[in-house]
Amino acid sequence: MARLPALNLPHSEAEQRLRERINRAKDISPGRIRSFDELILTVEREKRWHVYNLDMLRSMFTTEKYASEYACSRKSVNVAGARDNNLTLGNSELRMNENLRSQVASLESIVERLEFAGKPTTASPSQTMNPSASPGRQEILALKPGMWGMSIDVKEIGRRVKSWWQKRRGAPS
C-alpha cells in the first residue's frame, strides 16, 4: 500500500495557507460577468490563482500526489471558443463558476485529509528543496498532469540539468 505524502511544514500552517487560498477564490469572480472582456480578466485571475495553488501544494508535501489531484480538478473555460461559437456569456460564466467550485472542493478535500499526512520532515531545508541531495537513484524526467494526461515538465528538467551542470563544473548553483 502506498504511503501518503508527508508535510514539509507544520499541520497548522498548512491548513491556514490552504484556507487562505480557498477564501481568495471569492475574489476571482466577485459578481456577475457582464462582457467577454470581464470574462477574459476573470479567466486570467483564475489561472494565476490556480498556478499559485499548484506550486504551493508541490512545496507543502513530500510528493506530487495532492498537486496532481488538484490539477485534475480544473475545468476548461475556452474564452476564445465561446466568442467564436457564439456561446452566451451566461454559459461561459457558468463554466467559470463550475471550474472554481471544482478547484475549491479539491482544496477543501485536501484540508480535510491533512490529519493523515505525515509529520513535517526534520531534514535540512537544502535536502527538502534539492532532490539531488538525497542518496539513491534520481529521476531523469519529471511528469506533471497536462490537458491530455501526463506531460513532461520541461522547465523542471531544465532546472535539473542546469543544477547538474553547475555542480559538475564546480560553480555555485
Alpha-carbon torsion 115, 118, 122, 124, what sign? Answer: negative
pLDDT tens digits, one per residue of 115-160? 988 776 554 444 444 444 444 445 556 666 666 666 777 777 788 8
Q: Is residue 153 domain-shared with residue 89, that is, in the same domain?
A: no
Residue 130 in any domain: the answer is no
- Report residue 120: phi and psi, to 5°: -55, 145
Q: Is residue 65 domain-shared with residue 104, that is, in the same domain?
A: yes
Q: Is residue 54 domain-shared with residue 119, that is, in the same domain?
A: yes
pLDDT for position 71:
92
Domain count, the chain: 2
Q: Is residue 94 domain-shared with residue 166, that is, in the same domain?
A: no
Q: Is residue 103 domain-shared with residue 171, that is, in the same domain?
A: no
What are the residue ranges of helices labelled H in the chain? 11-28, 36-60, 65-71, 79-84, 89-112, 125-129, 154-169
Could you tell me the residue range of the domain that residue 153 belongs to? Answer: 138-173
CB 50 within 8 A of CB 42: no
C-alpha cell at 117: 499526512
Identity of residue 146:
G
pLDDT for position 36:
81
Residue 87 in any domain: the answer is yes
pLDDT for position 37:
86
What are the Cα distances from residue 143, in Å, to 21, 58, 68, 71, 150? Answer: 25, 13, 10, 13, 6
Q: Is residue 54 domain-shared with residue 109, that is, in the same domain?
A: yes
pTM given for the model: 0.64
Q: Is residue 115 domain-shared with residue 159, that is, in the same domain?
A: no
pLDDT for position 75:
80
CB 47 within 8 A of CB 28: no
Q: Is residue 76 domain-shared with residue 145, that is, in the same domain?
A: no
pLDDT for position 139:
57
Q: Is residue 116 domain-shared with residue 151, that is, in the same domain?
A: no
CB 104 within 8 A of CB 22: yes
pLDDT in tens, the chain (173 residues): 567 789 999 999 999 999 999 999 988 876 788 888 888 888 899 999 999 999 999 999 999 999 999 999 988 776 655 455 556 777 778 888 888 999 999 999 999 999 988 776 554 444 444 444 444 445 556 666 666 666 777 777 788 888 878 888 876 55
> Cα 26 from chain centroid?
18
Q: Is residue 78 domain-shared with residue 111, that is, in the same domain?
A: yes
Q: Is residue 60 domain-shared with residue 28, that is, in the same domain?
A: yes
CA distance 6 to 68: 15
Q: Is residue 78 domain-shared with residue 149, that is, in the same domain?
A: no
CATH code, domain with 95: 1.20.120
pLDDT for position 91:
79
